[in-house]
Amino acid sequence: MSRRAMLQHMAAASAALAVVPSRVLAQAPASQSVTTALPARGEYLIRNALVLTMDAKLGDLPKGDIHVRDGAIVAVGPSLQAAGATVIDATNMIALPGLIDTHWHMWGSVARNMAGEDSKTGYFLFARAVGDVFTPEDNARGVRLSLAEAIHSGITTVHNWAHNLPKPEFADAELQAHVDFGGRALYGYGYAGVGMTNQPINLADLPRVQKQWFGDRSGLLTLGIASRGPESNSAEICKREWDTARQLGLRISTHIGTGMARVKQSQGVKALAEAGLLGPDVILVHDTNYLPEDLEPLAKTGTHISMSPYTEMRTGFGFPPIQPMLDKGINICLSVDTTVLAGNCDMFAIMKAMQNVANGAKQSEFALSPRRVLEMATIDGARALGIEDRVGTLTPGKRADIVLVRMDDLNMAPFTDGVRMIVQAAQPANVDTVLIDGRILKRGGRLQHIDTAKIMADATETMGRVRVGVEKVLERSGVSVVR
């Protein structure tokens, strides 16, 4: 289906939504807590781990300890002493920095793998229709499901790329979920819904959100904007959004390069460069289709590129152009994108896919090393989000975002090399322990303060209720729904 036809279908679906009776779009039940109080920050001594610090000066420790106190890493080294600290035995475990996602439409996780298998029920049309029947509580349920799965999978920092915010209360509901779960996040305040063009985000609401949710917080949450960008918005709207974000000190992100026809028509990177809108505070997402002359301004300005190999290939955007961008010195980071397409948030699989795509494109077994990919999932992600001074490496003085991965599970045996095992063999099921800001949020393979059964039940209720409304809407707009 052409982009024009897809937008026509979206417009028809939206028009149909406007006249759907309220009984079809039933409201989500009132929110009920799915978390208990956050675990306290204690003093811990992680002992006898294979430590992958990802710090070039510290290197790897075949048998090392990590001392954590009041949410910070105090020391890393062999045979540390810390009187009074609670000992965490990490024998037969790999300790590494928490994994970092840099682009995730978290609200949609309740629609896991719901995108259809033909052009009339594909992801973009479906996402628009689903978004239009969501309530703030439904958005929050998607975020809660995402955050629970992220912590379970060893992802300690996420970039919630929130592009279903028709009203301010949708953002408030999502942000409350972030506060309750205790993870680290960049919240990308986005636009009203998928598929619309030439409509700015609610810039007037940004100061309120910044004051209400980011004023006196612990530093776990950072605010940014998620813009439609030059391929969907006018140059004037892009500049207005960028200027507002920079006046407020916010990070900026947009999708770009998802199809060569759009790239040639919009000249998006060139337009951003000429307007002075690129920079180290900007993350461009995907860019699987680019013009050769785009790479120089990206590198020169320090603009970051977030890649999500599974969804980029799944939607037909193309293959991530990993090596050409690395050759130019462009910072690449990794993302889940959406579990509607990716199915899960397995960052280990994403890392492996990145190495395989890069090596396949180069026709070389050695084009992209596992360590370089692990950097993308840790310190390079932190750089993109502007938090490299806090996380991304296991360096004394940084915050204690730490993941322990078991080495003695079946799929990890026989053990060979720490970095290679993390990138090529590990799975979320191998994640034993997760600390975020010095709080133990997963221990012994179990989430500590999160009611996963309630989260899954809520997500199932939302999807069952919303699907009825979406199917009616799509059918009224002339789109047949495959059941």
- The DSSP letter of residue 35 is B
pLDDT at 336 over 70: yes
Could you tell me the pTM of the whole model? 0.93
pLDDT at 214 over 80: yes
Q: Are residues 317 and 403 in the same domain?
A: no
Q: What is the pLDDT of residues 240-288, one digit of tens each?
A: 999 999 999 999 999 999 999 889 989 999 999 999 999 999 999 999 9
Tokens 């995108």 belong to 115
Q: Are residues 93 and 103 in the same domain?
A: no
Residue 161: inside a domain, yes or no?
A: yes
The arithmetic mean of pLDDT across residues 406-415, rounded, is 98
Tokens 């811990």 belong to 44
347 token code pair: 């960052």
Kindly report the CA angle at 257 between 256 and 261, in degrees rounded to 5?
A: 125
Residue 20: inside a domain, yes or no?
A: no
Q: Are residues 238 and 109 in the same domain?
A: yes
Q: Are 389 and 401 in contact (CB under 8 A)?
A: no
**468-471 CB contacts, 8 Å cutoff, 24+ apart:** 468/24, 469/20, 469/24, 469/25, 469/26, 469/133, 470/126, 470/129, 470/130, 470/133
Range of the domain at 272: 99-385
What is the torsional sign of CA 45, 48, 54, 55?
positive
Q: Are residues 91 and 179 in the same domain?
A: no
9 token code pair: 């279908």
Q: Are residues 291 and 305 in the same domain?
A: yes
pLDDT at 315 over 50: yes
Q: Are residues 239 and 342 in the same domain?
A: yes
pLDDT at 5 over 80: no
Under DSSP, is residue 84 helix (H, G, I), strand (E, B) or coil?
A: coil
Q: What is the pLDDT of residues 16-32, one digit of tens each?
A: 444 443 334 456 666 66
Q: Are residues 86 and 115 in the same domain?
A: no
* pLDDT for the residue numbered 19: 40
Under DSSP, is residue 471 helix (H, G, I), strand (E, B) or coil?
A: helix
Domain end residue (candidates: 344, 359, 385): 385
Residue 121: inside a domain, yes or no?
A: yes
* pLDDT for the residue numbered 4: 43
- Lowest average pLDDT, out of 5-9, 151-155, 279-283, goes to 5-9
Instruction: Say how many domains are in the chain.
Output: 2
Q: What is the pLDDT of residues 347-404, one digit of tens each?
A: 999 999 999 999 999 999 999 999 999 999 999 999 999 999 999 999 999 999 999 9
Kindly report the CA angle at 429 between 426 and 434, in degrees rounded to 5?
A: 90
Give residue 473's pLDDT band: very low, low, confident or very high (50, 70, 90).
low
DSSP 119-179: TTSSHHHHHHHHHHH--HHHHHHHHHHHHHHHHHTTEEEEEEEE---SSHHHHHHHHHHHH
| CATH code assigned at 396 | 2.30.40.10
